[in-house]
């Protein structure tokens, strides 16, 4: 029996200064989307069986210690001077529960990057561009003290805990 997978959302409307990150919990959805000609962005997070991966150079790659070094395009790069804001979104509820300094760069203690404190619960009231309900977290611009630091954004989705990387820049 063939299972019909739901079509992936095309996401929320983003302003020019916003950088969207799609959180996709089932790799089957990505395989289906790729078969239909769509390709996730390198910063999108694809989660299968509790393990994250990114789509880089034409294929899914596991989120291991070498991924961001070998494929820096998989890091969410934010520029404070341009007013960049992260927008995380998914077809299902999620919550950002921690923001920690990244293991990739441990140059000095990194301050918490936002004025608003955690947790950030995804809001399910913003429709995607096709009018469907999706779950969205829109972050503010990071604080100046967070410039030149990298962070792990820890979120939970479907009972799984995932931690992609984000870089804050002046």
For the stretch 54-79, pLDDT in tens is 888 888 888 887 888 899 999 999 99
pLDDT confidence of residue 3:
42
**Has residue 5 been placed in a domain?**
no
State phi, psi for 129 to the nearest 5 degrees: -65, -15
**Has residue 58 been placed in a domain?**
yes
**Has residue 1 been placed in a domain?**
no
**Has residue 12 been placed in a domain?**
no
**Has residue 6 been placed in a domain?**
no
Q: Distance between CA 39 and CA 6 in Å, rounded?
A: 15
Q: State the total domains in the chain.
A: 1
**Has residue 139 been placed in a domain?**
yes
pTM of the model: 0.86
**Has residue 107 been placed in a domain?**
yes
> Is it the case that residue 115 has pLDDT exceeding 60?
yes
pLDDT confidence of residue 139:
93
**Has residue 130 been placed in a domain?**
yes
Q: How far are the Cα atoms of 21, 68, 79, 119, 149 from residue 85, in angstroms, in the given order? A: 11, 20, 8, 17, 15
pLDDT confidence band for 132 (50 / 70 / 90): confident
Q: Which domain holds residue 135?
A: 18-169
pLDDT confidence of residue 6:
57
């Amino acid at each position: 029996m063939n299972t019909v997978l739901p079509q992936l959302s095309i996401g929320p409307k983003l302003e020019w200064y916003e950088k969207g990150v799609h959180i996709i919990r089932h790799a089957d959805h990505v395989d289906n989307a790729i078969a239909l000609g769509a390709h996730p962005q390198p910063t999108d997070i694809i989660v299968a069986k509790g393990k994250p991966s990114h789509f880089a150079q034409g294929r899914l790659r596991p989120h291991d210690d070498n991924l961001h070094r070998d494929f820096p395009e998989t890091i969410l790069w934010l520029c404070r001077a341009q007013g960049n804001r992260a927008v995380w979104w998914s077809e299902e509820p999620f919550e950002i529960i921690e923001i920690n300094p990244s293991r990739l760069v441990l140059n000095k203690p990194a301050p918490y990057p936002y004025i608003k404190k955690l947790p950030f619960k995804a809001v399910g009231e913003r429709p995607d561009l096709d009018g469907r309900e999706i779950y969205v977290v829109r972050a503010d611009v990071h604080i100046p003290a967070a410039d030149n630091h990298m962070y792990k954004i820890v979120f939970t989705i479907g009972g799984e805990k995932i931690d992609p990387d984000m870089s804050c820049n002046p």
